[in-house]
Amino acid sequence: MTQAYTERFTEVHEPGGTLFPLSRAATTGNTGWLDMANHQRIVFLLAVGTIGQGDTVDFHVEQALDSAGVISTAIFPNAGTIAITQLTQADGNDLIAVEVMTEQMTSNYRYLRGVLVIGGSAVYCVVIPLRGTSNLPPVPVTGWTEVVVS
């Protein structure tokens, strides 16, 4: 399904589990488990600020059988995990999109989460997951704080 010209972005993309922007030091954070039963794809948008010398930023996607994360595992399409190339000081101030289609998930798995790992000192970053290609559009707009349309 493609987005028709008359559909609003917020009618076909549902946010969820945002890791809000803040300075994170040597920590692992995740978006929480996102139910993909009504969606065919998800895009995790990762915005990263300046990265200090010796600091690293990693991000990967995991799948689970239920919303509690029981029996969770990495996704292995095409013989590799869905993960970014580690970011270092040479990177920084980047915007990265990690897209997953539900057909890449293992059979019977329906929950996904993004996992952000910061190594070293504090790095300012945010992760915004947007589920799209809904099986039953329009999607609920309850995940948006405000929707402004002109």
More confident of the two residues 90 and 5: 90
- Provide the CA 47 distance to its chain's centre, in angstroms: 11
Sorted by where each begins, the domain ranges of the chain are 13-134
pLDDT at 18 over 80: no
Which of the pair, 147 or 102, is modelled with greater confidence? 102
* Predicted local confidence at residue 133, as pLDDT: 84
Under CATH, which number does the domain 13-134 receive? 2.60.120.380
* Integer Cα distance of 124 and 98 in angstroms: 18
Cβ proximity of 126 and 30 under 8 Å: no
Q: What are the CA-CA distances from residue 33 to residues 36, 65, 70, 99 (Å)?
A: 9, 10, 11, 16
CA separation for the pair 23, 35 (Å, rounded): 27
Residue showing tokens 């996992």: 115
pLDDT of 56 over the 90 cut: yes
The helix/strand/coil state of 9 is helix
In which band, very low, low, confident or very high, does the pLDDT at 129 lie, cut at 50, 70 and 90? very high
pLDDT exceeds cutoff 60 at 3: no
Could you give phi then psi for residue 51, rounded to 5 degrees? Answer: -110, 125
Q: The tokens of 126 are what?
A: 């945010």
What are the pLDDT digits (tens) for 63-95? 999 999 988 888 876 666 788 999 999 998 999
Q: What is the pLDDT of residue 130?
A: 93
Q: Chain-wide mean pLDDT for the chain?
A: 86
Average pLDDT rounded to a whole number, residues 100-121? 92
